[in-house]
Amino acid sequence: MRTRNSLYDHGVFRAQRLHGVVISVGNLSVGGSGKTPFVILLGELLKARGIKFDVLSRGYKRKSKEITLVDPNGSPEQFGDEPLLIARRLEIPVIVGPNRYQAGTFSETKFGPRLHILDDGFQHRALARDFDIVLISLEDAQDRLLPAGRLREPIDSLKRADAVVFTNDNRINSLHLRGKTTWNVRRGIVGNGVPPKPVVFCGIAKPHSFVSQLKAEGIEPAAEKFYRDHHAYTEQDINHLLQLRQDSGAGGFVTTEKDAINLGPRLSKLQPIAIISVTMILENADNALDTMFRVIEDRKHRA
């Protein structure tokens, strides 16, 4: 990774540039940093300003490799669970494809030049970006590189970031953050009609964090069941969850928005069920966006 980054830094590898501004949202670790909720938060802030934009995503675990526009009524097999969630929440174009430059070109041909949010883009250096946002957690600062830990690249890679985002006041003291623009976001959950003493289940990167958030809101699970991140649910899974509910005396089920997408039509077999949304609030959001656009504009004039 260091060698690859160095080749980009020294111009041996050249990134391709789209006509529209590219804002990357990424992290250093494998999953669980809150990139998708942050993309949704950033999208909502852009929409409030009347800015037209799209989201470019890889579409992890989808079956097709073609570049395509996400249909909000489609399936995770077609588009990936997180791009589908983003498309449904933001109601803007989301384009998936392994080559994000080609995905962006597809979008600009179809919709015209516009701002692009590059989802999970910090390591995707083949596409030039105008502003790099990196989410980081306390665990990241204490973790090790793959395969011994969960880090995709070392902590000193934060030198490439334009803004570093801390969640829930988990600020990190690091030499690599000196002089960096730092933002704070508060994470929360929203859910209605939560059954009493539910079975809590999910297929996300950090399930125990989800359970901790539920308990903080006074929701005590009767039982818990965790699956791998992006888990595609089967009939066998449904039967096991129903049995778990019966054995534990639970009043129903609780899961995440992403899992609801991966359940698809099978969701109806797990009633009553509460779908929990993860929310994010960016402190001093207007100032943060003004700073971001000022940096982008300054770089455009210097280019």
H runs (alpha helix) in 80-132: 81-90, 100-111
Q: Write down the residue that tokens 């009347």 correspond to.
A: 50
pLDDT given for residue 137 in this prediction: 83
Q: Say how far apart CA 286 and CA 2 lie, in whole Å.
A: 35
pLDDT given for residue 36 in this prediction: 94
pLDDT given for residue 6 in this prediction: 80
Q: Say how far apart CA 96 and CA 181 lie, in whole Å.
A: 29
In-domain check, residue 13:
yes
237 CB contacts (<8 Å, ≥6 apart)?
227, 231
Residues 53 and 36 in one domain: yes
Residues 165 and 198 in one domain: no
Residues 177 and 239 in one domain: no
In-domain check, residue 277:
no
Residues 297 and 170 in one domain: yes
pLDDT given for residue 174 in this prediction: 66
pLDDT given for residue 172 in this prediction: 67
Look up the pTM and report it.
0.93
Beta bridge partners of 275: 255
Contact 228, 203 (CB under 8 A): yes
Q: What is 18-59 written as a DSSP string?
A: -SS-EEEEEESBSS-S-HHHHHHHHHHHHHHTT--EEEEE--
Q: Say how far apart CA 136 and CA 233 lie, in whole Å.
A: 30
Task: Residue 6: give the domain boundaries.
Answer: 2-186+282-302
Strand bridging mode 53-57 / 22-27: unpaired
Residues 208 and 286 in one domain: no
Residues 13 and 118 in one domain: yes
- Output the tens digit of pLDDT for each of the chain's 303 residues: 778 878 878 777 789 999 999 999 999 988 777 899 999 999 999 999 999 999 999 988 888 889 999 999 999 999 999 999 999 999 999 999 999 999 999 999 999 989 999 999 999 989 999 999 999 987 887 888 888 888 898 888 888 999 999 886 666 666 667 778 999 999 889 988 999 999 999 999 889 989 999 999 999 999 999 999 999 999 999 999 999 999 999 999 999 999 999 999 999 999 999 999 989 999 999 999 999 999 999 998 886
In-domain check, residue 276:
no
pLDDT given for residue 1 in this prediction: 76
